[in-house]
């Protein structure tokens, strides 16, 4: 996805893992992050990470980047319009915008008591149709769309979520009286995990 000659911007660098990895591999990457601890950490490691909102940063970095990306950030944003618009402004013509968010068409929509998927933590819920609609609103063309496979560390969450969801159906409650529904789902997960959509979705757009 990235070329060594690309000028890359990550919006919302969090714990700095992505910036660290690409910097070590010789990529030219800049990060934006509002967490003070992360900024201090970045300075110590001599990483180019700045405490500035993308809306302000875009005013002085118009068409400066080949790639702008954000991972698990957009769902926290209430003003989607200005956030996405500013990222596009930072892109060169033909540049790539990469967005990764939780998939609310996947198993997480069945989670009971998932308070972190509600405001004020998550300000919006994104699904494939939402991401695809961005090209109708902004000067973007969707070029790649991918589903994260179910990760091993999410399997127990998946099993619990699907067990709770299926128990809402009368037929499945009957099955649960005879068999262990959670064990059935656990077995299904074991033999079919490669085909189960995981927590997140990723979309890559081209600026037009």
Start-end of H helices in 25-67: 36-44, 54-58
Bond into 120 cis (ω within 30):
yes
Residue 187 lies in a domain: no
Residue 163 lies in a domain: no
CA dihedral 168, 169, 170, 173 (to 10 degrees): -70
pTM confidence score: 0.86
139-177 burial: b if 16+ Cβ within 10 Å, else e = ebebeeeebbebeeebbebbbbbbbebbeeeeeeeeebe
Residue 108 pLDDT greater than 70, yes or no: yes
Residue 26 lies in a domain: no
Q: pLDDT tens digits, residue range 23-70?
A: 999 999 999 999 999 999 999 999 999 999 999 999 999 999 999 999
Residue 122 lies in a domain: yes
Q: What is the pLDDT of residue 123?
A: 59
Residue 86 pLDDT greater than 80, yes or no: yes
Total of domains in the chain? 1
Residue 2 lies in a domain: no
Q: What is the greatest pairwise CA distance in the chain? A: 65
Average pLDDT of the chain is 90
* Full residue range of the structural domain in which residue 115 is found: 53-150+198-207
Residue 114 pLDDT greater than 80, yes or no: no
CATH code at position 137: 3.40.50.150
Return phi, psi of residue 95, to 5°: -70, 165
């Amino acid at each position: 996805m990235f070329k060594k000659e690309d000028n890359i911007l990550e919006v919302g660098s969090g714990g700095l893992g992505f910036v660290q990895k690409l910097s070590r591999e010789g990529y030219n990457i800049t990060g934006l992050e509002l967490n003070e601890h992360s900024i201090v950490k970045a300075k110590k490691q001599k990483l180019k990470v700045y405490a500035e909102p993308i809306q302000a940063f875009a005013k002085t970095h118009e068409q400066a980047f080949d790639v702008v990306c954000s991972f698990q950030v957009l769902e926290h944003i209430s003003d989607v319009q200005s956030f996405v618009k500013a990222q596009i402004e930072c892109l060169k013509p033909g540049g790539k915008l990469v967005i990764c968010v939780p998939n609310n068409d996947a198993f997480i929509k069945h989670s009971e008591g998932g308070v972190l998927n509600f405001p004020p933590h998550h300000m919006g819920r994104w699904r494939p149709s939402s991401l695809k609609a961005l090209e109708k609103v902004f000067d973007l063309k969707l070029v790649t769309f991918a589903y994260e496979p179910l990760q091993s560390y999410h399997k127990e969450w998946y099993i619990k979520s699907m067990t709770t969801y299926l128990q809402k159906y009368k037929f499945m409650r009957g099955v649960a009286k005879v068999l262990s529904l959670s064990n059935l789902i656990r077995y299904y997960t074991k033999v079919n995990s490669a085909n189960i959509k995981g927590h997140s979705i990723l979309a890559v757009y081209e600026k037009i």
